[in-house]
Structure 1
Amino acid sequence: MPLTAPFQRPAGPASATAGWPVTAGSPATAGSPTTAGSPATATTSAVRRPRPASRQPQQSGNRLERVGYVTRRPDPADRRRVRVAAVPSAVARAGALYGPYYTRLNELFASYSADEVAVLTDWFTRTTGLAQTYIDEMREQDKG
């Protein structure tokens, strides 16, 4: 079961993936689509992540735009939002940079038995639930 690199475009016609969404953040999370099939993701989607500084997503977007990794355009459905789209050449550069790493990850993952994969899947699923519960608790504390 190969891993999917976050910089890989989803399958589909080129016109549907030309503005494949990226979000501000680290290379491990950049490019995770917030809305499947969407031509780009709203900057405000990045704000919904746990506890970012209020201007962090905008500042990250500014840096990514300055270096030519993303473009911004108004959201046609909501004039208050801005859509952020990956620049195709930036996607290619990320692929060249991270491709060898993902090849190694796929090779490592292929070396696990079905039982080992089941344990890994269980651990990641359960720890993700724990993390979300903790985030929710912290948000509730902030409200009170």
Structure 2
Amino acid sequence: MAAIGDKALRTRVKLFGNLLGKVLQQQAGSDVLEAVETLRKGYISLRKKESIFKRRSINNMMEKLDANTLNHVIRAFSLYFSLVNIAEEAYQHRQRRQILRGGGPLWQGSFDEALRQFKDEGITIEQIQELL
């Protein structure tokens, strides 16, 4: 996930993460939730500062997980990133609607923006047809 700069988006992602944690607790148990949280925090730590010892510790932990727990952990991370993608897409759609309401183009590089630029630069339909 790219760095999340908008507070509303960060809040939504955090909400989804908390809800997923509750579902994991209820459906898979505290062992799975604990494994997911340990891995999540460990990889966040590694992203901030690489440590061969921390990486080995995380790898050792994963190797010790039984197949069932590992399956739940993999599914949990897959679901989490799917939820993050949904939150980001909804955020982008909200931004686009706000831009459109303000009279701006649909998004940078869109066909809508290209037509607006043609119009602003005085390019005629005939010139566009000639280009095509």
Say whether the fold is shared (TM-score over 0.5).
no
**Which has the larger share of helix?**
2
TM category (shorter chain) comes to 0.3 to 0.5
**Which has the larger share of strand?**
1
Instruction: Kindly name which structure, 1 or 2, has the bigger radius of gyration based on alpha carbons.
Output: 2
Task: Using structure 2 for the length normalisation, give the TM-score.
Answer: 0.37
